[in-house]
Amino acid sequence: MSALNPQIVEKIKYLITLYPAKQAVTLPALHLVQDEYRCVSVQSIVEIAALLELSPAEVHDTMSFYGFFKTEANPLGKCRLWVCRSLACDLRGADDLLNNLIDKLGVGLGETTKDGLFTLEEAECIGACEGAPCVLINDVHSLNVLDADRLVEEIKKKL
Amino acid sequence: MAKYEPVLLKRISKENSDTIESYLADGGYLGLMRILKDCSPSQVIDLVKSSGLRGRGGAGFPTGLKWTFLPKNHPGPIYLCINADESEPCTFNNRVLMEKDPHQVLEGIILSAYAVGASKVFIYVRYEYGDAYRATERAVNQAYEKGFLGKNIQGSPYSLEAVMHKGAAAYICGEETGLIESLEGKRAWPRIKPPFPAIEGAFRKPTIVNNIETVACIKNIIDLGGDWFKSLGIPPDPANPRDAGSYGPKLYCISGHVNKPGLVELPMGISARELIDEYGGGVWKNRKAKGIIPGGNSMGFMTYDELDTKLDFNGPGKVGCLGLGTGAVTVFDDQTSIVDVLYNICRFFAHESCGQCTPCREGTSWMYKIIERIRKGHGSIEDLNILEEVGNRIGTMPGTTICGLADGAGWPVKNAIRKYRSEFESYIKNGTKKFRHLHLQMAHH
Amino acid sequence: MATVYINDKAVDIGDKNLNLVQVAELAGVTIPHYCYHPELSVVASCRMCLVEVGEKKPDGTVVMQPRVIPACQTPAKDNLVVQTATEKSKSAQAQTLEAILLNHPLDCPVCDKAGECKLQDYSYKYGNSESRMVDDKNTPPNKPDLGHNISLFTDRCIMCSRCVRFTREISGTAELHIVNRGSHSEIDIFPTEPLNNKLASNVVDLCPVGALASKDFLYTHRVWNLKTQDSVCAGCSTGCSIHLDTNKNVVYRLRPRENPKAQGYFMCDDGRLGYHYANSGDRISKPQMKTEIVAHQNSWKDIIPALRTDLKAIGTKKPNGIAVMLSPFLTVEEAYLLASFIKSVSADAVLVLGPIPVIGEDDHYPKTRGTTPLKPKFTIRNEKCPNRKGVEEVIRYFEKKVVSVVDYLNQTIPDVMFVAAGYPDKDGSWMDSNLLSLFKKIKLLIAQDLFPSELTLASKYVIPSATFSEKEGSFVNFSGLAQELHWGCVPLHQVRTEGQVYLDLLERKGLLQASTIREEIAKAIPYFFKFSGGKLGENGIELENLS
C-alpha cells in the first residue's frame, strides 16, 4: 500500500462496517483521499478498489460521474473557490463576480493559481440563493459576495 | 388574515439553536419519547396519513401513503434515506433547517424511521452544504450521547443507527433512485421502476426516501397533531377526486430580483404576487416582474399576469407549470431577457443530465446547443419549433425517459416558448447581441 | 395459459416468464432495441423499444395506457395488449433514433459495422430520412487501444452500456466503465487494466453500432461480401456454435452463434481469433509419396491406390501390424470412415487416440474480486480440441476400449501407422519429443496433418489435412452435444478433406455427404443412435441423456 496513508486505510475499513455493501464506501473513500491529497491519483483508485473488492474501473466510473474529483495531473489548490452560476445568482451579478475573480486571481475557470492557493470553478445552485451572488469556499458558503477583491483577501488571511 | 406564527422556523434565530441542550430546553424529543412509549409504528403511519402531509421534495406524493407501500411482515432490514441533496436551483430551505435546527430535523427522522420500521437511516447530504452537514453530524453525535439514537432508544425496544453520507455535486442524486444508486457507491443513474424503492431499494432492501422539510413537518405533526396540520393550507378541490389537498405550512424560498430575498414559512396556498410583495419586499428597483419560476427551475414559468396563482400543489399546474415543486420562487424583472434566463436553465439541465437514457442525454444537450446559438444571434424560427417539440417529448409523462429530470428540463423550455414567444421571435429577428464570457448580460448595473 | 396480443395477433406464452420483446418475436414482430440483451441485466435506457401497452378487459374492451413503455422491462401477462406500430409508438421510436443520430458521426462509408448495423437497420425502418441538427456534433477522441483486440470509436457509441454490463456480469472482470456524465459520457478502461480478458471480443458482437471494433477484423472486409455458414469452433471441448464468415476460400471471421444447448451467446477470444492457421500459406498443400530415389510429388490418383496397396500388403502378412492414430480434431464421420477402412484391410488393426492437448484448468466466468465464487455462466475448457468424445466413442465401438497413442507405442511398435493428425499446431508441436521418437521407430509412416513437421519428414506418405472451416461433419462436445459443421472454404491447392480421402480409400464413389455417413453410424454405433435421419438441426443433438 503506498498511495493511501494508514489513517485513511483504517478509516475506510471502519466505514465498511457501517454499510451493508462495500461498494457503498466508494464515495466516502474518494472524499477522504481528495480531502487529504487534493486529488485522487491512479494508484489511490487501485488501492481503494482493492479494499472494496471492486475493479479500479468501477471506482473510477463513480468518481468521474461527479466531475468533482481531481486527477493527479490537476489537483485542487488549498481553496476550491466555486462561484454559483445558477439562475438566482446569475440574476444578481454572478457573471460580474466571476469575471472579477478571474481578473483578481489571474486564472481561468478550472485553473489553479501558481501559489497553489486557489482553484476557481463554477458551481450549480449551491443553495444560498437568499444571498445571491454567492460562492463556496471549499464547502462553506459565503453570501452576498459583491466585492471579489475583498473576498480573496479575506480567504487568504485564513489559509 | 391573522399573522402566521412559524413552527418549522420557530427556533432558527435563537442563539445555539443547533445544540441539543437548547433543543431539549424548548421541549424537543418529548414527542419522540411519547411515541416510543405509547404508539405503535402503524399508529404513527395512520397519523401522518390522516394529516394530509405531502412530500416537500418536489413530487408532492402523500407521505403516509408512500410509507404503506412497504411490504408487510418483511424480515428486514428496512432502510430510511433522508434526501438532503437539495439541488433544485433557487431552493435553500433544507439548508437553513439543517444549519439552524438540526435536532428538529433529526427528531422527525427518528420518528419516520420508527414508523416505517427502519433499522438504519442514511442521511445523504449534498457536498456543498458543508456547514449543514457538520451541524447535522454534531446533532447525530449528541443524539447518540443522550440516547436518542443507537440501541434501545430511551429504553424502548426500538434501535436506530444513523449514517451520514456526503454527496459530490450532482443534481440527479436528488432523484429518489439516483440517490440510492449514489449511496450504493455507483454512478447516480436512476433505476427503472418497477420495482419501487419501498419494495426493493437501497442494497436491494425495502427503502423509504424522505425529504428534510417533510420530516421536519412530521416532527411537528407528532407534537401538534394532524388536525393542526390540516388547519393550515387548502383542502382538496371537491370537483377533483384525485386532489390530495395542500395542507400544512410550507417553507417558501424567495430569490432573484426582489428587495428581500429569503426564507419564509406560510400556510400552503399563498399567491405568488402576495409572496413577492408582502414577504419578498416587492420587485427591486421599482420594476415589474416579467415572470417567475414558481418552484425551482423544473417547474417552468409564470408570467406577470399569472402571479395571482396560489402556490399550492394545484395552482401552478392550472397555468401550465409542472407543479409546485420545491416552492422556491425566483423573480426576474422586465429588463431581463427571457433568452438569457432560458439559456441558464438549459445549460443547467444539459450539465446535470445523468446520460443514461437517450431522450434526456441527447435532448438536453440539443436544447442547450440551440438556445446557445439563438443567444449568440444565429437562431431561426424553426429552432423555436424544435425546442418546443423536444421540450414536449422528453420525460416520464410521455413515457420516454426513466426519471423526471427530463420533465423538468423540458418544462421551462416549452413554457418559455409558449408564454414568451414574441420576445423570442423578435430576439431572433434582431440578430447578434454582444456579451462577454457567455454569461448573463444582466440589467443589474 | 396466458395470451398476449401483439398488434392484434394473439400469442400463447404458456407459463414462461418473458418480456414483450421476446413475446413479439414469437409473434414474428420485431420490436427494435439496443440495450436489451437476453443474457444481460435489463436497463431500459436506450428507449428504442417504446411501445403502447394496454389491457384487454373481460368484456372485450381494450384500455391502453396513456404513455409509451419500454417493451424490454415489461413482463408479459395474460390479456396484455401491445401495439408496436401505432402513431404514438412509431413516433417514440423515431424520436429515439433522431436523438441518437444527433451526435452520431456519418461514418458508414468507413465503418466496419455497415451492413450489420442496428442503427442503419432501424433508421431505415423506423427513423427519419433527414436530420434537423445544425449544431456541432460532440467529437470525443477515439481510443484505438482499449485492449489487445479492441478499438473504440468513441463518437459512434450510443451509450447502450451493453459492453460495460458484459464485463461486469458475464466476464466479471469489470474493465469497461463509463466516464463523465450526460452527453459527454464515454466508454473507457482504467489505465492499469486494459480490456484483455479472454471473453473480451464479445463486446464487439454486442455493440449495436460500429463503436467497438475487433482489431483482427477491422478494415479487412465488407460484411456483405462475406459468406456465412453455421459451424462449430474447434478450439476446445466447449464446442461453441459459430458463424463462419468467409470469402473466396479465406476465413475472415468467426462469430458466436446463439445456441441454448451449447454455450449460449458468446465465445472466447482464443477460439474466435484462432482461425488464422486455416489461411496459412505454410500448410501442406499437396499429397506426397516418397520413392527410393527422391521425394516424388505425386497426384492423388497415384497415391491413393499406392497407399491402399501398401496397407493391404502388410494387412495380409501381419494383420496386427497396422495401427491408426485418430486425433481429436477429426469429425465423427471421418473417424468412423478411417476406422472402417482400416478394419476392412485387417480386422486386427489397432485404433488409438491421438494426444489430447490440455492447457491449465477449466476457466470459469464471471470472475469476482470478492471472496464468494460465482455460479459459472461461461467456461473455457482446458481440453483444447473439439471432438475427443466423438472420436473416443468411435474407437470404443471398434476396440472396446480407448488407448492413447503413447501408451500403445510404449507397448508395441507397429509395422505401419496411419497418423490421422490434423492438429492446428505448427512444426509438429502437438507431439512432445517422446512421442516423436516413438513415431520414428515405425518403419512405414503415413502422416496426415496440416503443417509439415519432423513427423512428415519421416513419413513415406504425407497427406494434407483440411481444417474445420473446410469440412462437413460433426463434433461432439464435452457434454455429449453433437453439432454439425458446414464448410465455408474449399480446400486450396491439392488439399482434400479427410472424409473425402477416406471415401476414396474405401473406393466409395462420389463426394462426401455427411448426413449419409451419419445414418450409417447411427445404425452401427449405439452411442450415436440419435444420428439416424442424418440431420442434427441448427442447435445439435444431445447424445447423452442429462436427466
**What is the tens place of the pLDDT at every residue in C237-288?**
999 999 999 999 999 999 999 999 999 999 999 999 999 999 999 999 999 9
**Domain C2-96, what architecture?**
Roll (3.10)
Name the CA radius of gyration of chain B, rounded.
22
Q: Could you count the other beta carbons within 10 Å of the beta carbon of residue C497?
A: 24
User: Does residue B71 have a pLDDT over 90?
Assistant: yes
Q: Do A19 and A85 belong to one domain?
A: no
Chain A CB within 8 Å of residue C176 CB: yes
Q: Do A104 and A138 belong to one domain?
A: yes
User: Does residue A145 have a pLDDT over 50?
Assistant: yes
pLDDT digits (tens, 9 = 90+) for C110-162: 999 999 999 999 999 999 988 999 999 999 999 999 999 999 999 999 999 99
> Which pLDDT value is given to residue C546?
61
Say whether the peptide bond before residue B157 is cis (omega within 30 degrees of 0): no
Range B69-94 burial, b when 16+ CB lie within 10 A, else e: ebeeeeeebbbbbbbbbbbbbbbbbb
The residues, any chain, with a CB within 8 Å of residue B245's CB and separated by 6 or more, are B52, B54, B233, B234, B235, B236, B313
User: Does residue C293 have a pLDDT over 80?
Assistant: no
d(CA B53, CA B64): 7
Q: Fold for domain B338-430?
A: de novo design (two linked rop proteins) (1.20.1440)
Which has the closest alpha carbon to B302: B324, B277, B270, B280? B324
Nearest CA in chain A to C370: A53
Q: Could you count the other beta carbons within 10 Å of the beta carbon of residue C527?
A: 21
Instruction: Enumerate the residues of chain B whose CB falls inside 8 A of the CB of residue A130.
Output: 92, 253-255, 261-263
CATH at residue A32: 1.10.10
User: Does residue C484 have a pLDDT over 70?
Assistant: yes
Q: Which three cell numbers stand for residue A14?
A: 471502519
**What's the CATH code, domain C109-116+134-279?**
3.30.70.20
Beta strand B246-247 with B302-303: parallel, antiparallel or unpaired? unpaired
Cβ of B131 and A21 within 8 Å? no
Identify whether A74 is part of a domain. no
Q: What percent of chain C is predicted at pLDDT more than 90?
A: 95
Number of domains in chain A: 2
Q: Fold for domain C288-355+385-542?
A: Rossmann fold (3.40.50)
Average pLDDT, chain C: 95
Instruction: Enumerate the residues of chain C whose CB falls inside 8 A of the CB of residue B195.
Output: none
User: Does residue B35 have a pLDDT over 80?
Assistant: yes
Any idea of the CA torsion for C523, C528, C534, C538, to the nearest 10 degrees? 170
Q: Do A96 and A129 belong to one domain?
A: yes
Identify whether A113 is part of a domain. yes
Residue ranges, CATH 3.10.20.600, chain B: 246-333
Beta strand C80-83 with C2-6: parallel, antiparallel or unpaired? parallel
Q: Do A92 and A59 belong to one domain?
A: no
Range A102-127 burial, b when 16+ CB lie within 10 A, else e: bebbebeeebbbeeebbbbbbbbbbb
Q: Could you count the other beta carbons within 10 Å of the beta carbon of residue B44?
A: 21
Q: Which three cell numbers stand for residue C436?
A: 516423436
Residue B434's pLDDT band (boundaries 50, 70, 90)? very low
Chain C CB within 8 Å of residue B154 CB: no
User: Does residue B236 have a pLDDT over 50?
Assistant: yes
Instruction: Judge whether C109-116+134-279 and C288-355+385-542 match in fold.
Output: no
Q: Do A51 and A114 belong to one domain?
A: no
User: Does residue B435 have a pLDDT over 50?
Assistant: no
Can you count the helices (H) and strands (E) in chain A?
A: 7, 4
Among B residues 235-274, those touching chain A with beta carbons less than 8 Å apart:
253-257, 261-263
Residue C291's pLDDT band (boundaries 50, 70, 90)? confident
Residues in chain A: 159
pLDDT digits (tens, 9 = 90+) for A43-89: 999 999 999 999 999 999 999 999 999 999 999 999 999 999 999 99
> Which pLDDT value is given to residue B311?
97
Q: What percent of chain C is predicted at pLDDT more than 70?
A: 99
DSSP B99-126: HH-HHHHHHHHHHHHHHHT-SEEEEEE-
The residues, any chain, with a CB within 8 Å of residue B283's CB and separated by 6 or more, are B257, B258, B259, B276, B289, B331, B333
Instruction: Enumerate the residues of chain A whose CB falls inside 8 A of the CB of residue B293.
Output: 87
pLDDT digits (tens, 9 = 90+) for B248-301: 999 999 999 999 999 999 999 999 999 999 999 999 999 999 999 999 999 999
- B382 min Cα distance to partner chain C (Å): 10
Burial class (CB in 10 A: 0-12, 13-18, 19+), B234: middle
CATH at residue A118: 3.40.30.10
Residue B337's pLDDT band (boundaries 50, 70, 90)? very high
Residue B437's pLDDT band (boundaries 50, 70, 90)? very low
- C147 min Cα distance to partner chain A (Å): 14
**What's the CATH code, domain B246-333?**
3.10.20.600
Q: What percent of chain B is predicted at pLDDT more than 70?
A: 96
Q: Do A60 and A99 belong to one domain?
A: no
- C374 min Cα distance to partner chain A (Å): 14
> Which pLDDT value is given to residue B436?
36
Spans of all domains in chain C: 2-96, 109-116+134-279, 288-355+385-542
Chain A CB within 8 Å of residue B133 CB: yes
Residue ranges, CATH 3.40.50.11540, chain B: 20-231
Residue ranges, CATH 1.20.1440.230, chain B: 338-430
User: Does residue B438 have a pLDDT over 60?
Assistant: no
Per the CATH hierarchy, to which homologous superfamily does domain B20-231 belong?
Answer: NADH-ubiquinone oxidoreductase 51kDa subunit (3.40.50.11540)
> Which pLDDT value is given to residue B442?
42
Name the CA radius of gyration of chain A, rounded.
18
Angle (CA) B346-B349-B350 rounded to 5° is 85
Chain C CB within 8 Å of residue B185 CB: no
> Which pLDDT value is given to residue C298?
77
Q: Do A91 and A45 belong to one domain?
A: no
Q: Domain containing A132: what range?
A: 79-158
> Which pLDDT value is given to residue B1?
55
Q: Which chains, if any, share at least 3 CB pairs under 8 A with chain C?
A: A, B
ipTM of the complex: 0.97
Residue A2's pLDDT band (boundaries 50, 70, 90)? confident
Q: Which three cell numbers stand for residue C370?
A: 470478492
Chain B CB within 8 Å of residue C179 CB: no
pTM for the model stands at 0.95
